[in-house]
Structure 1
């Protein structure tokens, strides 16, 4: 970049004399450069103190002027400084377009000053010719400096963004783990641009079916923020005031292959750990072959069963003990009949339609279940036990 034009020893001598004269005027050139930048944008005066900006501009212009008259094969100190400046300005937060403008403005200023030197030496036409021949080289150097500064700026910006993302992800992970460090929720709220207090929910999706999952877009007054885990994907849902879980379930419907669990609504970021545990509990209520994303508040009885696996196993043994001794196919028919009958709210006629059999067949199967379990579906307490035992059996 910016290869210098081959010049004779005499050309180099004349150009060196002009650049030396220019260096003697450097303070006034820097003052003019700073004035032009301030007129172009007030942002230049906001990101750094004036004295520091002046010193850095003076060094950059001095190195640039020295580069113009430097021998062809000398190190490109101007490009080294441009790379450092690009990184520094990215860290300081100066917009990239203002960084590039500063390089262009300095280039115009230096070139105009060189032309003034040539005009002052009209009695030496040869000097003016040498300066005019240097135009391509000067602007090639300015272009190279701006390009190097831009590349360094963008690389630094990407690195800063990556570090910021990692820091915010760590804050979110800490909240989801239920950590209670002072100021944790406030820092996460500021970094994620979320309210510290407000309605939130957590979604947990089983990871083995993630390949066909499409994340929901923002809309309907809520926002999803997702985190990948080894065995699941966790989503924090920011809800608008008055927005319930129906909207969350609707957004997920058809956008993921499931299964998944949705927590109840919690009142702020500090409660995301509890919400995550409840969402995981909701997910555990889904059978292995399930595809639905379920809400915990609609699966409370089943959640009670899965939260106590030892008691759930004992419940299955106590209620379905004799049933479990049947042939697998026979057992599956009876349990499917009970499941469908419960889903049809105790209607034998509707259950028969779903099972493609006569309603009397449904009655016969249910009576056989009652005999094998020593329980009556007409007694509420027995019905509760059989319902919970069926959930526990399916989930095991």
Structure 2
């Protein structure tokens, strides 16, 4: 900046410092007149005082050395404050553009009135004035963005803490109410919990499923060894939820029954975790608790399950591996075919008489009759227990 430009700007700045209230009134009026969000976020008195200080420091900066620009320190503090108040960044930057317009217009008017012979020099000064405003805008944008990230981080931490309290059953009535407000969820409503064991699928923290499921939302939370989704079902059914999850899940998942409030998410989480434990690792597989009740009962009572397996299948399981696996596969297939030897033979690519002979041997080894319903229940449950045990990590 040459000396003529510097002296011209300093002359104008000294004069405008004497009109500080007038310039403040104009800038506040133009800012609030065109931005209702700014009005809602910033009280008038605070806005007026901070604007006056900002204009004063901006004009004073013209009189100082570049290394002494205290206006940038003030700009940083105000950007942080406006971020905390919820003023949108666009509104904040608009205010700086207006500040540049008001300041520059006032400088031009003063020079036209008091020193018209210096207008040619003033033209050369324009870029310096707008550069100063741009510096303020850049500082404001940088500080605002940092503060916004801090606020969002704290907000996410609070959301996570509230989800944890709901899932762990440590939420009292007040916390449930706070969680409903923070998560934008009703205290009473149709909820389910989904647990997913790794490998997980790609998702965001707060997911809205396709329009076909209406207002259904999934709020995800990382837990030790798995992830949890609190599902606000709206009017969607578990069938519809599982259908959408099947397009996303690459591991194994458990789905709880529907509960009717946030205060029941602990129970739903426990049930979803139990359902997930009925899946054999590898997946993809989605287990609904209401479709896995016998298996869930067995993994919930491992001692009883062990007695059942030993009593029903102990002798069969003691056979050499090849013989054992052949008979277990035959039993599983025979049960899946509703006791039809012909259908089981078709699935296993052997003769019907082979299936009949294997079934007789199974009956001899187990002491159960596959013609007796109660014995079929015992064998079915024991076979399911063997599958669960073989699928454990």
State TM-score, norm by structure 2.
0.92
Mapped to 1, the partners of 2:353 and 2:202 lie a distance apart of 45
Does the C-alpha gap of structure 1 residues 382 and 360 become closer, same or farther in structure 2, counting only changes over 3 Å?
same
Which residue does 2:153 correspond to in 1?
Answer: 162
Mapped to 1, the partners of 2:242 and 2:6 lie a distance apart of 75
Does 75-84 or 99-108 show the bigger shift? 75-84
Residue 334 of structure 2 corresponds to residue 334 of structure 1: no
Residues 1-396 of structure 1: matches in 2 within 5 Å? 5=1, 7-8=2-3, 12-71=6-65, 73-122=66-115, 125=117, 127-207=118-198, 209-210=199-200, 213-215=201-203, 218-219=209-210, 220-221=213-214, 222-241=216-235, 243-396=236-389
For each residue in 1:208-266, what CA deviation from the matched residue of structure 2 results, as whole angstroms up to 9, or x when unmatched? x33xx34586122322222222311212221123x221111111224223322111111
Report the CA distance between 1:324 and its aligned residue. 2.0
Report if aligned partners of 1:168, 1:188 keep a CA contact under 8 Å in 2: yes
Report if aligned partners of 2:272, 2:289 keep a CA contact under 8 Å in 1: yes
Structure 2 residue matching 1:321: 3-state secondary structure? helix
Structure 2 residue matching 1:228: 3-state secondary structure? strand
Mapped to 1, the partners of 2:351 and 2:219 lie a distance apart of 50
For each residue in 1:25-45, what CA deviation from the matched residue of structure 2 results, as whole angstroms up to 9, or x when unmatched? 101111111121232123332
State TM-score, norm by structure 1.
0.92
Does the C-alpha gap of structure 1 residues 257 and 15 become closer, same or farther in structure 2, counting only changes over 3 Å?
closer
Mapped to 2, the partners of 1:304 and 1:32 lie a distance apart of 74
For each residue in 1:37-57, what CA deviation from the matched residue of structure 2 results, as whole angstroms up to 9, or x when unmatched? 232123332222211111100
Mapped to 1, the partners of 2:326 and 2:202 lie a distance apart of 36
Report if aligned partners of 1:121, 1:128 keep a CA contact under 8 Å in 2: no
Report the CA distance between 1:373 and its aligned residue. 0.8
Q: CA RMSD in A?
A: 1.8
Report the CA distance between 1:186 and its aligned residue. 2.0
Report if aligned partners of 1:288, 1:395 keep a CA contact under 8 Å in 2: no
Report if aligned partners of 2:331, 2:359 keep a CA contact under 8 Å in 1: yes
Structure 2 residue matching 1:134: 3-state secondary structure? helix
Query: Which aligned runs of 4 or more in structure 1 are off by greater than 6 angstroms?
Result: none
Mapped to 1, the partners of 2:92 and 2:5 lie a distance apart of 32
For each residue in 1:319-377, what CA deviation from the matched residue of structure 2 results, as whole angstroms up to 9, or x when unmatched? 11211221011011111111111122222222111111122211111111110011111
Mapped to 2, the partners of 1:252 and 1:16 lie a distance apart of 67
Report if aligned partners of 1:282, 1:299 keep a CA contact under 8 Å in 2: yes
Report the CA distance between 1:93 and its aligned residue. 0.7
Mapped to 1, the partners of 2:113 and 2:39 lie a distance apart of 34
Give 5+ residue unaligned stretches, structure 1.
none
